[in-house]
Amino acid sequence: MRLLYLGDVVGRSGRDVVIERLPEIRARLVPDFIVLNGENAAHGFGITPRICDDFFAAGVDVVTLGNHTWDQREIVAYIDGEPRLLRPTNYPAGTPGRGAGVFAAPRGRKVAVVQVMGRLFMDPLDCPFAALERELARVRLGPGGVDAVVLDIHAEASSEKMALAQVADGRVSLAVGSHSHIPTADGQVLPGGTAYQTDAGMCGDYDSVIGMKKDAAIFKFVRKIPGERLSPAEGPGTLCAVLVDTDDRTGLAVRVAPLRLGGRLAEIWP
């Protein structure tokens, strides 16, 4: 099976490059299942139902979120009725929505998607390690279970992302980091057969400070006083993603490679 994970979509530049390039990607790479992190898609803060529906219409199978899940008020009512939209599973019990699901893929196959959010330098949610164990106990990768498992690790610290991936090694097809908005160069298949990359990078304008307009971001660092609200940079976007091929028998990874298209970063096709 071929899996495609698209990193955090930031603002209109990110949305535009994803919608524009997905037809070409689908024709050229023929992914069986596409996961996209959309937590910054609505002007940098959260996602709206309309934007989410646009991603689904473009061929995305599942949209994950993160620490900006609730920034757009209308998503609270929408998320309960849309199983393809996932927020971190380690939010407290009773939080709207869900953090994992099993979804249909071509030729009768099934893909599980799980998202956890780290706690280092982020909101103090429930333990992501315990939440991950709970979700992985519900799905089994390989014969008699699901055909693939995608784990989105939404976290600030690379150490926490790597630790969660090592815990999941051999039980998920792909463990990939989101939130940092910078693509890392450590794509690899872990010893147990799980594809891993610390951060997929963002889909957005890289002439920025992690997707936000430079001047306002720099002002906050330099002056340490409230200033203009951060807003997404509006130049041409780069699409950053991770492509994984799995063994049809085991569901484990046999190949992981970056995909980068458009904007300022060097183009890379797997």
Q: Is 71 a residue whose pLDDT tops 80?
A: yes
Specify the pLDDT at position 227: 77
pLDDT, average across residues 38-47: 97
Residue 68 a catalytic site member:
yes
Specify the pLDDT at position 211: 94
What is the percent of the chain with per-residue pLDDT over 70, rounded to a whole number?
100
Map the chain to HEC letters. CEEEEECCEEHHHHHHHHHHHHHHHHHHHCCCEEEEECCECCCCCCCCHHHHHHHHHCCCCEEECCCCCCCCCCHHHHHHCCCCEECCCCCCCCCCCCCEEEEEEHHHEEEEEEEEECCCCCCCCCCHHHHHHHHHCCCCECCCCECEEEEEEECCCHHHHHHHHHHHCCCCCEEEEECCCCCCCCCEECCCCCEEECCCCCEECCCCECCECHHHHHHHHHHCCCCCCCCECCCCCEEEEEEEEECCCCCCEEEEEEEEECCCCCCECC
The average confidence (pLDDT) of the chain is 96
Domain ranges of the chain: 2-261
Give the tens place of pLDDT for each residue, 87-134. Answer: 999 999 999 999 999 999 999 999 999 999 999 999 999 999 999 999
Q: Is 225 a residue whose pLDDT tops 90?
A: no
* Active-site position among 68, 154, 179, 181: 68
**pLDDT confidence bin for 229, thresholds 50/70/90:** confident
- pTM (predicted TM-score): 0.96
Give the tens place of pLDDT for each residue, 147-172. Answer: 999 999 999 999 999 999 999 999 99
| The CATH number of domain 2-261, selected from 3.60.10.10, 3.60.21.10, 3.30.390.50, 3.40.50.150 | 3.60.21.10
**pLDDT confidence bin for 6, thresholds 50/70/90:** very high
